Amino acid sequence: MASQEVGNAEPGTASAGGPPARQAEPEVVNSVYQRNDELQNHQKEKLQALGAVQILNGATVLVLGIFLASLQNIFHPFSQFFFISYTAYPLWGPIFFIVSGSLSVAAGRKPTRTLVQNAFGMCIASSAVALVGFVFLSVNLAVNKHSFKNCESSQSQDLCVYVGIFSNGLMSLMLILTLLELCISTSVSVMWCIESSCNSIEVGLFP
């Protein structure tokens, strides 16, 4: 009798009081998908926020660059304080930052393959541009230290000192924003790598 009862037991049941094995597997898969969706949504929100900061950062550097070029035209005799203007970094550098941030925001909202690849490439390019800008600004600040000595032989010594101090202030602000852009671009690049790795693993595990 006992053997007949065991034989008549349904194949989908595991043990008395236990959930069926076929019902447990979809629940595990659904929980994994739900947890992965929550992580991806949080990741997308972070990418959009960082992209917005990149756009704001690039716009600020661009405004400072235009203001710096205007000062160079006004105080042309003290052009040694505006070495960065000859490199044109305050103009082409922020363009990279704004485009990179815009692509990150767009890819965060609608993560298509093309947008993700373009955003990842622009983030790497923005990191390289920010590093170059950091070198240019550091060199300009170092040159300004020596340029202050030339103010002693200038006819308008006080004006020369004021222009140098003002130039150092703008350069320092741009240097801070450039370092911020370097950190953000590097972080976004790493996040895009993680996002791509997670998507590839998900496709491999749950085709």
Task: Identify the DSSP state of 4.
Answer: H
User: Is the CB of residue 144 less than 8 Å from the CB of residue 13?
Assistant: no
pLDDT computed for residue 27 by the predictor = 53
User: Is the CB of residue 115 less than 8 Å from the CB of residue 103?
Assistant: yes
pLDDT computed for residue 179 by the predictor = 94
Show the tokens assigned to 90: 């305050």
Outline where 13-155 has alpha helix (H): 21-74, 83-87, 89-109, 113-150
Q: Among 35, 188, 199, which Cα is nearest to 101's?
A: 188
CA distances from 119 to 73, 100, 107 (A): 36, 6, 7
Contacts of 131 by beta carbon, 8 Å cutoff, 6+ apart: 182
Of the chain, the percentage scoring pLDDT greater than 90 comes to 28
For 41, phi then psi, to 5°, come to -65, -40
CA distances from 5 to 1, 22, 80 (A): 6, 22, 97
Tell me if the pTM is above 0.85. no
pLDDT computed for residue 113 by the predictor = 82
Q: Which residue positions in the chain have pLDDT lower than 70? A: 1-42, 195-207
Q: What is the CA radius of gyration of the chain?
A: 29
Contacts of 113 by beta carbon, 8 Å cutoff, 6+ apart: none
pLDDT computed for residue 9 by the predictor = 46
Q: What distance in Å separates the CA atoms of residue 26 and residue 160, rounded to the nearest whole number? A: 75
